[in-house]
Structure 1
Amino acid sequence: MTNEQILQKYNTPVPRYTSYPPANSFETFSNEAYIKEVEASNDAPNNHLSFYIHVPFCRHLCHYCGCNSLPMAKDETVEAYFQALHQELDILLPYLNKSRKISQIHYGGGSPSSIPLHYIKALNEHLLSAFDTIDRPEIAIECHPGYLSQEDWTFLTDCGFTRYSLGIQDFNDKVLETVNRRPSLLPVETILDILRGSGARVNLDFIYGLPGQSADSFEQTIERAISLHPDRLVTFSYAHVPWLYKSQLILERAGLPHNDEKVQMFARVSRLLTHSGYCHIGMDHFVLPDDDLQKALETHQLHRNFQGYCPRRITAQVYALGVSGISQLDGAYAQNTKNVRQYITQLSAHQLCIERGYALNARQRVAREVIESLMCNNRISWNDLSQRLHLAPEEVKVAMHYDENRLQEMAHDGLIVFDSQHIAMTSVGSPFVRNVAAALDPMMVNTDKRFSKPV
């Protein structure tokens, strides 16, 4: 099949598989059920500690945003919110084994860097005083460079972070203006010098598929990014889901690029990045050859959670703090309320505020491992999964929607190669790894859920 034919056939809505089952499968879940899963997580196979902290506030809301983001609150609300974060952590601490170690801390949003930065430093100190860390933990924060001064960046380097993700999105100011995104306040070169001076690693994040972008213009943006030599460069595909986020309708009126143009954006920058020495990881990451993610991919030890890709070395049970945060534990997911006022009120009364979640059954735990293996490592080895799950290879397949005719069709179309022992994505099929995962997913049979397109 030609690339055009593959796009027409497979560019259909499928889950993003940042979790399994996807978050739109979550149902009512209680505080008590969450605490039970927290206690059980002490004995999970991968029982390092990962903390995700959600800071929902932004100084300006970008029209494309699909995150739980809110306009900047009053000073007293921000202070009360961070008091609630500390209180939530204090509620959890008695249920966590103190011999466990932190492998990962991640601040997301919203824009975590939009609030007074002393709140960030104090919360990091609280976390790191409660537990030891593994060797070389990843302590990361997502930063909007549109508002941070040189003094702000210098302050952040004293907060213990080992990685910074800068949300550049595009170097074209006209594109940023259309999507209501502020460009970087300082030259990005200056920011990188400050952060690298602290020994930290830096990601530059971009989005393709926005109004005003073309294959030519996005290639120019990535050429500039390459000249800055970031440790990781991420090219997120804009997910257009206006039925969930009404502000995205503004982008429809501005005019979204045609699918063919969007495919060309990714294809051209992918070639450019690989020719420049970057290695392609998963759906959207490009890393330098000595990066931990590339080493993990080479040994089939790449993992993924809501915070992104990580090597299995730092794989952990994820405990989320803050509104909308999703804890990812061995046996369940649990999500906090999205309402800031409710969150602050309940935590000030020393009550958790779990709103929904999902307890996985035995078959779903198997499916999670299979789909994660494919999504992260672009391959499935039924024998490797058999050993990890302590099941016969055929038992692993039975837990999936294993349809050999469907796999044959995908192989004929050039997306995969497979036999009785393996499934592997081809370079042509790699952008459609979500489609292959969905074909194996028993929960996708007769589903009525709505998803975004892979491209």
Structure 2
Amino acid sequence: MKIPVELIEKYNVPVPRYTSYPPANFFGGDFETDDYLVAVEESNKKEPQNISIYLHIPFCTQLCLYCGCNTHITKDQDMMKHYMEALKTEIHMLNKLIDHDRKISQIHWGGGTPNVLPAELIGEVMAIFNSEYQFIDKPEIAIECNPALLNQAYIDQLVSFGFNRISLGVQDFQEKVLNAVRREVPEIPISELVHMIRQHVGVSVNLDFIYGLPYQTVESFGKAIEKAIAINPDRLVTFSYAHVPWVKKAQKKLEDYGLPAAEDKVKMFEEAWSLMTNAGYVPIGLDHYAKPNDDMAIALKNRSLHRNFQGYCTRETTGQVYAFGVTGISQLEDVYAQNARTVKEYIDTVESGSIKIVKGYSLSETDKIIRQIINEIMCNQYLSWAQIADQFQTTEKSLKKLLDFKESKLDDFVADDLLTYTKDEIFITDLGRFFLRNIAAVFDIRLEGSVKKFSKSV
């Protein structure tokens, strides 16, 4: 697939990433802890009934300069133990409000770097969920890992705790790139780590890469993807580096090395797309690739993919998300809520016997409609007005009026071969996948006149 330069210039504008709708920068401080606790109890009556758990581990031993996550740089083991005690306490607090007849479909450990923790601390938390909740038949229990901090013994322990998916944040194979962005270089080759994981039946592995970093070229990134394909992971992810130094000041330092131009980033995307699709991987949304027999590839074929802050998932593993830990964002049917901002604030609040919500958002019916439309576009590259109307018990005419939607808003996308449509359906083309954020923004009635800042789409 080749992406014309003129389209890059035309559509490379700031738009939300749409990991949620509305995006997190619309959350407000007027949403408080009591609002969240009421919403948790109310969520027991809402769909989906499945429970999705997110645990945020903020700790990293050093700061990767590209990072846009909420992190706390430390090697203090006592602090980590203290934090994990607070995490367990928070879980027990929320356990009292969640209906235990509901089942867990997904647990995701993110960060930061979850595997910076001693494995036994992870096991203690997993034991709470395993002892107090039921699980669906095939839950996804996943953890993000820095490969530089991983070995056979640690992998074996993770599997013993119930993890069945391990994501390795490779980012790039070149030491020159890793050193520039201050990412630790793994001592154990990625291929060997994957072999260690694969020794456990039923445990799948993701390899995650970032393109748009210093010293990366189209040729070098292509070689990285070729090497990744040879390792044969179940899923591959190629994230486009989002340069937002006004949010993450450390990113400014990357400008000293020089960053690839937007045109080169597009060529990296094209090269990765070509290599992975030729190798039999199925493109998922903007940045994921999966083997044809993978649950996500099957879900895409059935137009049943979903997305939350943790990434893509299937309808079977989709649940209302209950987040634990500092800055964790819960995504319930009716509300979003974000935990305390700093490790100290989080620990102090939990130890005082309460939960600290610093900001959140209560969704209106209109928000839920737009959220579902954007989810269909971002995940399934498809939209049926009839399905949305049926889901929200309204009419197609009322939906379009609510969104002030006119088919003329799609004219440019059609002319540029990014989508096709009929009276009832919209189909995103392969070329259109690269501009999903731009297409989704057409349905976002909050964008017009907004002063919020977003990263550019390319």
Are 1:431 and 2:408 matched, yes or no? no
Matches within 5 A, 1:163-312: 163-199=165-201, 200-312=203-315
Deviations 1:288-327 (A, max 9, x none): 0001111111111000001110010111010000000000
Residue of structure 1 equivalent to 2:358: 355
Are 1:87 and 2:89 matched, yes or no? yes
* Secondary structure of the corresponding residue to residue 442 of structure 2: helix
User: CA shift at 1:153, angstroms?
Assistant: 2.3
Please give the alpha-carbon distance, in whole angstroms, between the structure 1 residues aligned to 2:428 and 2:89.
Answer: 45
User: CA shift at 1:130, angstroms?
Assistant: 1.3
Deviations 1:44-63 (A, max 9, x none): 12110111000000011100
Please give the alpha-carbon distance, in whole angstroms, between the structure 1 residues aligned to 2:75 and 2:217.
Answer: 36
Residue of structure 2 equivalent to 1:452: 455
The letter for the 1-side match of 2:357 is I
Q: Which runs of 5+ in 2 are unaligned?
A: none
* Secondary structure of the corresponding residue to residue 184 of structure 2: coil
Show structure 1 runs of 4+ deviating over 3 A: none
Are 1:335 and 2:338 matched, yes or no? yes
Residue of structure 2 equivalent to 1:323: 326
Q: Which runs of 5+ in 1 are unaligned?
A: none
Residue of structure 2 equivalent to 1:122: 124
Please give the alpha-carbon distance, in whole angstroms, between the structure 1 residues aligned to 2:75 and 2:175.
Answer: 27
Deviations 1:223-247 (A, max 9, x none): 0000011000000000000000001
How many equivalent pairs are there?
455
Matches within 5 A, 1:7-156: 7-28=8-29, 29-156=31-158
TM-score by length of 1: 0.98
Please give the alpha-carbon distance, in whole angstroms, between the structure 2 residues aligned to 1:50 and 1:72.
Answer: 28
Matched-pair contact (CA < 8 Å) for 2:3–2:266: no
Please give the alpha-carbon distance, in whole angstroms, between the structure 2 residues aligned to 1:269 and 1:149.
Answer: 28
* Secondary structure of the corresponding residue to residue 149 of structure 2: coil
Deviations 1:62-116 (A, max 9, x none): 0000000111252221111001111111111111111000000000000000111
The letter for the 1-side match of 2:25 is N
User: CA shift at 1:185, angstroms?
Assistant: 2.4
Moved more, 88-97 or 191-200: 191-200
Matched-pair contact (CA < 8 Å) for 1:386–1:393: yes
**Could you tell me the percent identity over the aligned residues?**
43
Give the CA RMSD over aligned residues.
Answer: 1.2
Please give the alpha-carbon distance, in whole angstroms, between the structure 2 residues aligned to 1:84 and 1:192.
Answer: 33
Please give the alpha-carbon distance, in whole angstroms, between the structure 2 residues aligned to 1:360 and 1:156.
Answer: 36
Deviations 1:191-226 (A, max 9, x none): 112211222000000000001001100000000000
TM-score by length of 2: 0.97
Please give the alpha-carbon distance, in whole angstroms, between the structure 2 residues aligned to 1:147 and 1:46.
Answer: 36
Are 1:398 and 2:393 matched, yes or no? no
The letter for the 1-side match of 2:160 is D
* Secondary structure of the corresponding residue to residue 160 of structure 2: coil
Please give the alpha-carbon distance, in whole angstroms, between the structure 2 residues aligned to 1:445 and 1:132.
Answer: 44
